[in-house]
Amino acid sequence: MTPEMVLHCESCWRKTMIRTVALVFIQVVATAMAAPIALPGCPETCGDITIPYPFGTRQGCYRQGFDLTCDETRHPPKLSVGGGGGAEVVGISIPDGMVRIRTKMLDTSALQQLNGSWSAGLRPDGPLALSARHNRFVAMGCNLLANLVAHDTFYADNIRIGVCAALCVARTALRPGDSSTTSSCSGVGCCQTPVAQGLPYYTIELNDLAQRPAAASPVPVVHGAAFIADGEWFRGQQTALQLNFLHDPRKVVDSTVVPTVLEWSLSMRGDEDLFVEDTSVSQWKRCISVNSVIVEDVEGNVFGLARCNCSSGYEGNPYLADGCQDIDECQRPNVYPCLQGTCINMPGTYQCATRKSISSLPGLITVIAISAGFGVLFSLLGITKITNKLKKRKAKKLGQKFFKKNHGLLLQQLISSNKDIAERTRIFSLQELEQATNKFDKNRIIGGGGHGMVYKGILSDQRVVAIKKAKIAIEREINQFINEVVILSQTNHRNVVKLFGCCLETEVPLLVYEFISNGTLSNHLHGQLKNPLSWKDRLRMALETARAIAYLHSAASISVYHRDIKCANILLSDTLTAKISDFGASRSIAVDDTGILTAVQGTYGYLDPEYYYSSRLTEKSDVYSFGVILAELLTRVTPVFSAHSSERTSLASHFVSLIRDNRLSDILDPHIVDEGGAREAEVVARIAEACLCLKGEERPTMRQVETALEDVQNSRVQLISQITRVNQNGINEQPYKESKDGEGTRLYSLEKELIQSSEIPR
């Protein structure tokens, strides 16, 4: 090689390096340019609060319903919702789709007839609404029943979407430094419950559990407070709030500023200018910003609501045309992504480049020649490989993050420490379950509802399974999934659905059950099936269910109160064997405990009235729910039904009333009579009557119910002697005879109030 050729090659190398450095410099400068937050010419801040579009404080700076007011006469300036009369805004997050505001407590002394409202100045038809995922409805006081009521514009009806009760607590029971009586806020001096539905306006009703009339005195007989607060904030403040409220309620109400979380969404029909459509497939492709995605897209429902966010590797405001700009990972403080070599920022990502030593110039020329010939082909293959590798790496890190968040390490320890659990339960990888369901193909869906979907899958060992996958990541839903894993992994009964394992690598855990092919008992009783269940099968299913509940209460390794026993949670196998499922709301109980105070959960129509009004969960709460199931098996009537008017009626109260009047035949399913099961049905009806006693202490145990149903199935006694034997076992008629003070009538009126309310959060 001549000297001229050597000099020429060195010149080429220097020019190449200069171009590379210039390219990197241009990328750094472009990234350093601030991304727009608001529309041109519009204020971006109010004091130290950032105001991103679609929000704004001036006409033409915001979308309809997103107007805010900045009071610059205040020091510092105050940002508020709407026209200035709304709640103070303390923060707006575009990525989370949240607005944080400050609200006040509602005090009973400020309410008329113990009723008040919560609105924070939000418009009823606006895009802002209370976040059901992040807030809690809290009440503090003595003998206080608090209801959060939403007005359903579709049905023109008021619906209770949050209910809790707070019993009295004596100040003398508190010792300095001892917060054991207040730390849980589970019904003693304080109660809390999730907000089931996010709306801009609510009515708050506060009632006296002692049932003293509010109109008897100009001063309300209930002294308490109610508010809606950010759940994370309340968990950190609840002990101090309860203790201070016991000593000086007025000071707490007047001085406490409550942080509350709002959420917003856009209509893909009314705000279509913010979305870009892929005309080739007639679907929304992205938001108006180039590097953006549509999140929480529920266009499939009748509302068509969605939000926008920047794509991975970009940040900014996706509601502006150039709002999402590249993140320069190489310039992040204290986070240098390349341990070796030089970090080069790329659109949406970065690369780590190392300069290899060049042993000889001829070798470099050879490399350049080869690269020139095959560069195009290998560059395409290389980019694809790098992209896939980065995606896998990010997916792996995300899976590890979710695994820890979902208590995977604790579950691994539980499985490894117990040989029996290890044989029955395992932790599946996400890849296994994707292969089992063909990547969760919609054709594999076999059931589901508001909380999520159930898919049919086939594991690598050819086992057919049902895989439950939740729709959204709410902390309460995740906790219920984990609770179900812990309980079912330690439960082994032929009439309890088997849990094969779970997957913790997703935002919400996936549960893997045995596949039950014949649907639910509710479908067979109330669905449009040609052949109704025979009386023999119904009696056997009742006995199988009773055995499973009795096992959970007294024979399992840990005592479990199911808390949501209902026909929809009883699955039927291909041989019509009953299996109890859905343990998300269940609670494990210590051996020496007879009950616990907890937030009310369950399904109306099945819910124990005593548990509803006291928040005390006992094994007798499951007994009451089972009594409703027995009534359904006998009558094929739903737990809540409409009789001769539009008013809804409780099957439990109606059934017991007919039994008292010896009118079982008025409601008994004619198929039972046709099969000759009327005599046995009368005995089962008496068992159901005992289970539905309004006082929990007068109900039988599930073990007694199991024994009584075994006697009916075996036909060992005649009808009269059977009723006598049932009474001797503690299942008697006494609870249904009206007492002198009319307690039975009063309690049933309470149950009627419960039935007319909305479904308790589940």
Average pLDDT over residues 453-476: 82
pLDDT digits (tens, 9 = 90+) for 529-582: 778 899 999 999 999 999 999 998 887 667 888 888 999 999 999 999 999 988
Average pLDDT over residues 217-240: 79
Residue 573 is predicted with a pLDDT of: 92
Q: pLDDT: is 742 or 160 the higher one?
A: 160
Tell whether omega for the bond before 54 is within 30 degrees of 0, i.e. cis: yes
Average pLDDT over residues 505-512: 82
Crossing angle between the packed helical segments 743-756 and 651-660, to the nearest 10 degrees: 150
| C-beta of residue 322 within 8 angstroms of C-beta of residue 353 | no
pLDDT digits (tens, 9 = 90+) for 340-354: 778 888 888 888 877
- Name the one residue in this structure whose structure tokens are 């509803």: 612
How big is the CA angle at 110 (ends 261 and 760), to the nearest 5 degrees? 50
Q: Is 125 a catalytic residue?
A: no
Determine whether 583 is exposed, middle or buried from the number of CB atoms within 10 Å of its CB (0-12, 13-18, 19+).
buried
CATH class of the region 406-515: alpha beta
Q: Going by DSSP bridges, is the β-strand pair 616-618/595-597 parallel, antiparallel, or unpaired?
A: antiparallel
690-to-293, 479, 663, 679 alpha-carbon distances in Å: 57, 34, 17, 17
| C-beta of residue 242 within 8 angstroms of C-beta of residue 140 | yes
pLDDT digits (tens, 9 = 90+) for 20-45: 433 433 343 344 346 788 898 899 99
**Coil, strand or helix: which one is 412?**
helix
How big is the CA angle at 188 (ends 184 and 191), to the nearest 5 degrees? 65
Average pLDDT over residues 253-270: 87
Residue 645 is predicted with a pLDDT of: 61
| C-beta of residue 46 within 8 angstroms of C-beta of residue 64 | no
Residue 218 is predicted with a pLDDT of: 46
Crossing angle between the packed helical segments 619-635 and 651-660, to the nearest 10 degrees: 70
151: which strand partners? 158
Please tell me the CATH code under which domain 98-264 is placed: 2.60.120
Q: Which residue out of 67, 208, 271, 564 is catalytically annotated?
A: 564
Residue 623 is predicted with a pLDDT of: 96
Exposure pattern of 636-651 as b/e (b: 16+ CB <10 Å)? bbebbeeeeeeeebbb
Residue 715 is predicted with a pLDDT of: 75
Cα 693 → chain centroid: 32
Please tell me the CATH code under which domain 520-756 is placed: 1.10.510.10
CA terminus-to-terminus distance, the chain: 82
HSE-CB for 121 with a 13 A CA cutoff: 21
Per domain, the residue ranges of the chain are 45-86, 98-264, 265-328, 406-515, 520-756
pLDDT digits (tens, 9 = 90+) for 59-112: 889 988 899 999 988 888 999 997 667 899 999 999 888 999 999 988 876 555
pTM of the model: 0.48
pLDDT digits (tens, 9 = 90+) for 658-670: 999 999 999 999 9
